[in-house]
Amino acid sequence: MNPPTWKQVRRLFQFEWDGEYPDLIVASTTLSDCDRFLKALPKWGHSLEFFEGHTPHPTPTEATEKLLFWGPDDDPPLLKIYVGKLQLNCRFWEDEITADLDPREFQGPTELDGFLGFMKNLGDVTGKKARLDVEPDVLEYDPTTPTWHWEVADGEPPTDWTPA
């Protein structure tokens, strides 16, 4: 199945924003999945920034235990990935990769196409489903088939919606 069009999924990004950032999630990941992602990421052409706490560091080129495990009082390392005008805030957890996003940055098909390309690459390199949940809607890419799946509520975006 082809990726969705802006008209089919725009409700995912045009809703009354409540301050929560939806997450793109790849679940059941391993250190090897994170390693493959970090090694492939520079080839995708996105600008990157990496932080441990509030301190910038060079972007890691391989996954280490330190990337996934930190103390209970520590901020998890943060990898900012700029996909065109979109900023994805990526974190690595013990068993998942997450990337939160600001839906207000989506202004139309250009941002959606860039995001879908990133989502597909992430799924392909890990070999696992990449899923964006914006309750009650969902957008998912499954690299094993490879197919796109989405469920989006009917109706027009809220009249007070404006892109960032």
Mean of pLDDT over the chain: 87
Write down the pLDDT at residue 73.
67
Instruction: Please report whether residue 38 resides in a domain.
Output: yes
d(CA 58, CA 152): 38
Q: Is residue 158 part of a domain?
A: no
Is residue 61's pLDDT more than 60? yes
Encode pLDDT of 28-43 as tens digits: 999 999 999 999 999 9
104: DSSP letter: G
Q: How far apart are CA 53 and CA 77, in angstroms?
A: 6
Q: How many domains are there within the chain?
A: 1
Residue 24 pLDDT class (50, 70, 90 cuts): very high
- 97 in a domain, yes or no? yes
CA dihedral 41, 134, 113, 88 (to 10 degrees): -30
Residue 143 maps to a domain: yes
Q: Rounded to an integer, what distance in angstroms lies between the CA atom of residue 60 and that of residue 47?
A: 13
- Judge whether 156 lies within some domain: no
For tokens 């600008």, name the residue: 47
- Residue numbers of the domain that contains 142: 6-151
For residue 42, being part of any structural domain is answered with yes
* pLDDT for 95 beyond 80: yes
Task: Using alpha carbons, select from 88, 92, 146 the residue that is nearest to residue 114.
Answer: 88
161 part of a folded domain: no
Q: Does 164 map to a domain?
A: no
Beta strands 96-100 and 78-83, pairing class? unpaired
Q: What is the pLDDT of residue 19?
A: 81
